Amino acid sequence: MYISEKAPAKINLTLDVLYKRNDGYHELEMVMTTIDLADRIDLHPLPDDVILLESSSGLVPQDERNLAYLAAKMLKEKLGIKKGVSIYISKQIPVAGGLAGGSSDAAATLRGLNKLWGLGLSLKELAKIGAEIGSDVPFCVYSNTAIARGRGEILTPLPPPPPCWIVLAKPVHGVSTADVFRQIRVNEIKLRPSTEKMVEAIKQGDYDAMTKLLVNVIEPITMKMHPEVKKIKEKMIQFGADGVLMSGSGPTVFGLVRNESRVPRIVNSLRGFCQQVFAVRMLGILDQGLTK
Ligand code: ATP
Q: What class is the 165-281 domain?
A: alpha beta
Query: Tell me: the pLDDT tens digits for 46-70?
Result: 999 999 999 999 999 999 999 999 9
Rounded to an integer, the average pLDDT of 171-195 is: 91
pLDDT digits (tens, 9 = 90+) for 250-288: 999 999 999 999 999 999 999 988 889 999 999 866 653
**Could you report the per-residue pLDDT of 233-250, keeping only the tens digit for each?**
999 999 999 999 999 999
**Non-local CB neighbours of 12 within 8 Å, separated by 6+ positions:** 30, 31, 32, 98, 216, 245, 247, 248
Q: In this predicted structure, what is the pLDDT of residue 290?
A: 38
Catalytic residue among 16, 39, 105, 136: 136
Give which of 168, 210, 213, 169 is closest to 191, Cα–Cα. 213
The arithmetic mean of pLDDT across residues 139-166, rounded, is: 97
Question: What pLDDT shows up at residue 287?
Answer: 58
Dihedral sign computed on CA atoms, order 203, 218, 90, 133: negative
Atom of ligand 1 nearest to the CA of 250: 7
136 flagged as catalytic = yes
Atom of ligand 1 nearest to the CA of 96: 12
- Ligand 1 within 6 A of 89 CB? yes
Q: Is 10 one of the catalytic residues?
A: yes
Residue 95 CB less than 6 A away from ligand 1: yes
Atom of ligand 1 nearest to the CA of 67: 24
Number of H helices, E strands in the chain: 10, 11
Candidates 3.30.230.10, 3.40.50.620, 1.10.10.10, 3.40.50.2000; correct CATH number of 3-159?
3.30.230.10
Instruction: Tell me: pLDDT of 128 over 70.
Output: yes
Domain residue ranges in the chain: 3-159, 165-281
Count of other CB atoms within 10 angstroms of residue 109: 35
Distance between terminal CA atoms of the chain?
A: 25
To the nearest 10°, report the CA torsion of 103, 57, 40, 37. Answer: 70
| Run of H or E including 170 | strand 165-170
Question: What is the average per-residue pLDDT within 176-187?
Answer: 91
